Amino acid sequence: GAVVSQHPSWVICKSGTSVKIECRSLDFQATTMFWYRQFPKQSLMLMATSNEGSKATYEQGVEKDKFLINHASLTLSTLTVTSAHPEDSSFYICSARGSGIGYTFGSGTRLTVV
């Protein structure tokens, strides 16, 4: 089956620093990738949608300059949280979809900003 690998699974960073999260489709070409954020005891909230080689489309209220998304290849998308602050602490989850492939999710990244 389709597999999406997300790294790191958890990260702790100091306030003001940047953190990069990787999302890879291991056995299929992901034409579209999605990035979600989930706060404790809440549902997943979509942050942005990215197509390979194109700029990401951000949901309303998501700062594109703070959450940089790169989808330079059909198997890799990255989310960089720039100048992270404690309120950015959350569970970040990627999802990938390809031709004939349903939505496959990564295992998530727990970001803690101290």
Q: Which amino acid is at 69?
A: I
CA angle 24/28/32 to nearest 5° reads 65
Number of residues that bind other proteins (CB under 8 A): 27
Q: Which residues contact 100 (CB under 8 A, 6 or more apart)?
A: none
Task: Report if residue 34 touches other proteins, rule: CB under 8 A.
Answer: yes
37 belongs to the binding site for other proteins (CB under 8 A): no
Q: Of 1 and 86, which has the nearer Cβ to other proteins? A: 1
Q: By rule CB under 8 A, what string of x and - marks binding of each residue 67-106 to other proteins?
A: ------------------------x-xxx-xxx--xxxxx
User: Cα torsion for 72, 100, 26, 38, to the nearest 10°?
Assistant: 80
Least Å distance, CB 40 to other proteins, is 10
**How far is it, in rounded angstroms, from Cα 85 to Cα 17?**
8
Q: Which residues bind other proteins (CB under 8 A)?
A: 4, 6, 31-32, 34, 36, 43-46, 49, 51, 91, 93-95, 97-99, 102-108, 110
